[in-house]
C-alpha cells in the first residue's frame, strides 16, 4: 500500500517517468535490491530527466512546423549523383553558424531534396534546443495578410523575432517584384534582430542582399562562404550563381 501510494503521489505531481521507473523497481526486486539507495534514486531522477528532455525536444520540433518532421541528419542519403558533402553537412549540424551569426542559402533544381535538407538542419537545431520555424511563402503571406487585417502585424513579426533559426522556403517564387521587395524587407529586419536565416532561394542575389554573411550551398555542397558583400562583388559568383555576365 505504501509503495502504491508513493507511485500515485508521483503521478499526481506529474512525475510520471519517476513513477514508471519506481514501478519497474518494485516489479524486479531481485535486481534492484542489490543497488543502494543513492543508485536507485539516481535511476528515478535520470528517468524523469530523460523523459522531460525528450518531451521538450518533441515540443521544439512540433513548434518548428517542418514540412518533413521526420527529416534528420542521419536520414540524409549521400548518393554519388547528389554530390552531397557529408563533412560539410555534419559541420552545419553542429549549429555553430547560428552562434556565429551566419546564414545559409540553399540553391538547386526542384526535387533535389532542398526541403528535406533544410528540415534536417532545422531538426539538428531543435536537438540543441534552439527555437526554429519553417514556413513556405504562401503560408507566410497568408499569416501576414491576416495580421494586417486584424491589426496584429507587429505582434506577428515579434513572434518571428524570437526565433533563433528561420527557414524560408522559396520566399520570392511567383511573387510580383513589389511583393518580393516587401517580403525581403521583412526578412532583412529579422536578420538585423539576430535571427539566423536558412533560405531555400533560387535568387541568390536577393538572399545575399538580406544577409551580412552566408554559406551558399548548391546541390548539398558549400560552394562559397563569407561576407555577403564580398560574395556579391565576386565576378565568378555573379556569373555562375547570380545569373549575371561579367562586364
Each residue's pLDDT tens digit, 114-126: 899 999 999 999 9
Query: How far apart, in whole angstroms, are the C-alpha atoms of residue 46 and residue 122?
Result: 27
Q: What is the pLDDT of residue 236?
A: 66
161: its cell numbers: 523575432
Q: Cα separation of 145 and 166, whole Å?
A: 19
What's the mean pLDDT in 144-172? 89
Please list, in sequence order, all residues whose beta carbon lies within 8 angstroms of the beta carbon of residue 145, skipping any fewer than 6 positions away: none
Q: How is residue 81 annotated by DSSP?
A: G
Q: Identify the H or E element spanning 126.
A: helix 114-127
Which whole number is the average pLDDT over 70-76? Answer: 93
In the numeric block, the cell 518533413 is attached to 68
Q: Which helix (H) or strand (E) holds 199?
A: strand 196-200
Per-residue confidence (pLDDT) for residue 48, from 0 to 100: 87
Count, residues in the chain: 247
Task: Report the range of poorest mean pLDDT among 48-57, 59-68, 139-148, 225-234.
Answer: 225-234
246: confidence class by pLDDT, cuts 50, 70, 90: very low
> What φ, ψ does residue 144 adopt, rounded to 5°?
-70, -35
Amino acid at each position: 500500500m505504501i509503495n502504491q501510494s508513493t507511485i500515485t503521489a508521483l503521478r499526481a505531481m506529474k512525475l510520471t517517468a519517476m513513477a514508471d521507473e519506481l514501478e519497474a523497481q518494485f516489479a524486479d526486486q531481485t535486481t534492484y535490491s542489490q543497488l543502494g539507495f543513492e543508485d536507485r534514486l539516481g535511476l528515478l531522477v535520470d528517468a524523469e530527466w530523460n523523459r522531460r528532455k525528450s518531451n521538450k525536444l518533441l515540443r521544439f520540433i512540433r513548434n518548428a512546423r517542418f514540412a518533413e518532421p521526420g527529416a534528420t541528419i542521419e536520414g540524409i542519403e549521400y548518393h554519388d549523383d547528389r554530390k552531397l558533402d557529408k563533412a560539410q553537412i555534419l559541420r552545419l549540424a553542429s549549429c555553430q553558424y547560428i552562434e556565429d551569426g551566419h546564414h545559409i542559402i540553399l540553391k538547386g533544381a526542384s526535387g533535389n531534396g532542398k526541403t528535406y535538407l533544410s528540415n534536417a538542419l532545422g531538426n539538428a537545431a531543435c536537438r540543441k534546443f534552439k527555437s526554429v520555424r519553417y514556413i513556405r511563402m504562401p503560408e507566410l503571406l497568408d499569416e501576414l495578410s491576416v495580421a494586417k487585417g486584424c491589426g496584429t502585424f507587429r505582434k506577428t513579426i515579434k513572434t518571428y523575432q524570437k526565433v533563433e533559426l528561420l527557414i524560408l522556403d522559396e520566399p520570392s517564387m511567383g511573387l510580383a517584384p513589389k511583393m518580393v521587395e516587401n517580403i525581403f524587407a521583412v526578412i532583412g529586419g529579422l536578420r538585423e534582430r539576430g535571427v539566423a536565416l536558412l533560405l531555400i532561394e533560387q535568387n541568390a542575389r536577393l538572399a545575399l542582399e538580406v544577409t551580412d554573411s552566408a554559406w551558399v550551398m548548391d546541390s548539398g555542397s558549400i560552394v562559397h562562404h563569407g561576407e555577403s558583400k564580398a560574395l556579391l562583388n565576386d565576378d565568378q559568383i555573379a556569373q555562375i550563381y547570380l545569373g549575371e555576365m561579367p562586364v
